A and B are shown apart, each in its own frame.
Chain A
Amino acid sequence: MTETEMTCERFEERLADYMEGDVQGAERALLDAHAASCAACGALVGDLRKIVAEAATLPAIEPPRAVWAGIESRIAANVVPIAARRRTVPLVRALTAAAAMILVTASVTYMATKKFGALDAQRDTTGGTQIVAHLPTNPVTTSTNPDIDPASSSTPATGSSALFSPRGTTGVPEGSATSVRTASNQKRYNDKTASAMAVYDEEISRLRSVLKRREDLDPKTVAAIQRSLGVIDTAISQARAALAADPASAFLNKRLNDAQNKKVELLRTAAMLPST
């Protein structure tokens, strides 16, 4: 190819490699010559080189002070292995806050319960099955739920009870000051998670009871609710699995709580749907 054969179109096709220095020899010389003789292509190369040069000199950005404060709180009890310790603080705080929100908004469930007489239905084991038969099982007996260690669980369970079960062990030698402190933290964690989980489970149990009475719902609506619940439960499972790898991630904790809240919201919406 000669210089006269180099077109702007061909130049642009080879521009990425040209910029990366992946074009050598005669072709490189042709591209250089074209860039020098063509105002448009020359300007294009000039702009891209300026962007590359500018990018390499972009400055550091100082983070807000709150960032260090957050780090400090997460590493504060450094005598406890972080993987065992950190999970408790953000999860418990986030979970209790989310559970508190459930309590605050429980009036919706109350209205649905009152409207559809679900309290009586809770004792009715022969109730309807339109939705509930397909709902992911959500054990209500939080206190008897066996420990589930997210760090070792390869098949995350669905449902709120399984999500927040405390770890069985912390990996700290028994009898040491550390183990005493860890045991204390663990007990506090157990108490708070059990309390928060009970809120979730009670709410979901009530909503499931309401839905048992909703045989009046359109089958297509029921199918849509089932699909949505499936997506949410998948999200919950994935968030929990991710948290097992990085328990202190605020981002993942938020994702988990968001999914939990979405599940309750969906159940509430379904419970309050008008009859068809």
Chain B
Amino acid sequence: MATLAPLPINRSVLGPQAESDVALAATGDRRAFERLYRANSGRIFALCVRMAGDRTAAEELTQDVFVRCWQKLAQFRGESSFSTWLHRMAVNVVLNARKQEGRHRLRHEEVDEESQALAQPGLPIPGMSLDLEKAIASLPPGARRVFVLHDVEGYTHEEIAAMSGVTTGATKSQLHRARMLLREALNR
């Protein structure tokens, strides 16, 4: 069986269990990797659902994220927390999938996608949680991705712009558009 070199992990940024599981998983221990999956899958799946706006696509993307994680574990050096490292990987997987999909889509479909209005009406803002989820899912893809990354996940405009290959002006514009569309949907 092929073995990987032990990880030089920065112990200060990992909890004891995660630290142990990351090290074990990197050597091929699938049970340890499953524990990492159990501890992180909710947040990663939520990111994929909200970014993709589609649960089926989110399931495939979540699989891709964790398989990529399995492949790349040997490169994890503990300079950030495992969950932060994994989360950034998930964002990249989702954004790359969007790019790949975009290359397959006809030009007019792109235009339709970005000019798409909110498809589903929401309910009044008071007590909005589930309604906010629905409203986010019905946002145009570009606005949705920026909103999720900024307002849900806490990335800065600079980080989003770098990951998406656009300017911070564009991300700010998309964010404001998303918020205004959400307000409109939630006030209907």
Interface size class of A (residues with CB under 8 A): 35 or more
With a 10 A CB-CB cut-off, give which of B152, B179, B187 has the most chain A CB atoms: B179
Smallest Cβ-Cβ distance to A250: which chain B residue: B60
* Residue in A16, A50, A52, A251 whose CB lies within 8 Å of B64: A251
Which secondary structure dominates where chain B touches chain A?
helix
B108 nearest CB across to chain A (Å): 13
Docked-complex contact B67 and A86, CB < 8 angstroms:
yes
Docked-complex contact B45 and A58, CB < 8 angstroms:
no
A140 nearest CB across to chain B (Å): 27
Contacts of B96 in A (CB 8 A): 246
Contacts of B147 in A (CB 8 A): 55
Smallest Cβ-Cβ distance to A66: which chain B residue: B59
* Residue in B30, B63, B70, B179 whose CB lies within 8 Å of A52: B179
Contacts of A252 in B (CB 8 A): 100
Smallest Cβ-Cβ distance to A86: which chain B residue: B67
Contacts of B179 in A (CB 8 A): 19, 48, 51-52
8 A Cβ contacts from B26-44 to A: 28, 30, 33-34, 37, 41-43
Docked-complex contact B152 and A55, CB < 8 angstroms:
yes
Docked-complex contact A60 and B45, CB < 8 angstroms:
yes
With a 10 A CB-CB cut-off, give which of B2, B46, B187 has the most chain A CB atoms: B2
Contacts of B70 in A (CB 8 A): 71, 75, 78, 82
Docked-complex contact A68 and B37, CB < 8 angstroms:
yes
Docked-complex contact B186 and A78, CB < 8 angstroms:
no
Smallest Cβ-Cβ distance to A258: which chain B residue: B104
What CA separation (Å) do A235 and B67 show in the bound complex? Answer: 25
Docked-complex contact A51 and B173, CB < 8 angstroms:
no
Docked-complex contact A251 and B43, CB < 8 angstroms:
no
Docked-complex contact B176 and A75, CB < 8 angstroms:
no
What CA separation (Å) do A81 and B28 show in the bound complex? Answer: 11
Chain A 254-268 per-residue mask, 1 if CB under 8 angstroms from chain B, else 0: 010001000000000
Docked-complex contact B37 and A61, CB < 8 angstroms:
no
Smallest Cβ-Cβ distance to A55: which chain B residue: B151
Docked-complex contact A238 and B46, CB < 8 angstroms:
no
Docked-complex contact B183 and A67, CB < 8 angstroms:
no
Interface size class of B (residues with CB under 8 A): 35 or more
Interface status of B90 (Cβ within 8 A of chain A): no
Docked-complex contact B176 and A15, CB < 8 angstroms:
yes
Docked-complex contact B63 and A70, CB < 8 angstroms:
yes
Interface status of B125 (Cβ within 8 A of chain A): yes
Interface status of B97 (Cβ within 8 A of chain A): yes
What CA separation (Å) do A47 and B97 show in the bound complex? Answer: 33
A258 nearest CB across to chain B (Å): 9
Chain B 94-135 per-residue mask, 1 if CB under 8 angstroms from chain A, else 0: 001100110110000000000000000000010011001100
Interface status of A190 (Cβ within 8 A of chain B): no
Chain B 71-112 per-residue mask, 1 if CB under 8 angstroms from chain A, else 0: 100000000000000000000000011001101100000000
Q: A16-B172, A79-B1, A238-B104 are in contact. Are A52 and B151 (CB under 8 A)?
A: yes
Docked-complex contact B67 and A63, CB < 8 angstroms:
no
* Residue in B61, B104, B125, B175 whose CB lies within 8 Å of A255: B104
Interface status of B143 (Cβ within 8 A of chain A): no
Interface status of A269 (Cβ within 8 A of chain B): no
Contacts of B66 in A (CB 8 A): 71
Q: A58-B46, A60-B46 are in contact. Are A251 and B125 (CB under 8 A)?
A: no
Question: What are 15 contact pairs spanning A and B, CB under 8 A?
Answer: A20-B175, A44-B183, A54-B132, A62-B41, A63-B45, A67-B62, A72-B34, A78-B70, A79-B2, A82-B67, A238-B103, A242-B100, A242-B103, A250-B63, A252-B100
Query: B residues near A, CB below 8 A?
Result: 1-2, 28, 30, 33-34, 37, 41-43, 45-46, 49-50, 57-64, 66-68, 70-71, 96-97, 100-101, 103-104, 125, 128-129, 132-133, 136, 147, 151-152, 154, 157, 172-173, 175-176, 179-180, 182-183, 186-187
- 9 more A-B residue pairs beyond the given contacts A55-B132, A238-B103, A255-B100, with a C-beta to C-beta distance below 8 A: A15-B176, A19-B179, A47-B125, A52-B151, A75-B70, A78-B30, A81-B2, A249-B97, A255-B101
Q: Which 3 A-B pairs have the closest CB atoms?
A: A60-B42, A16-B176, A63-B45
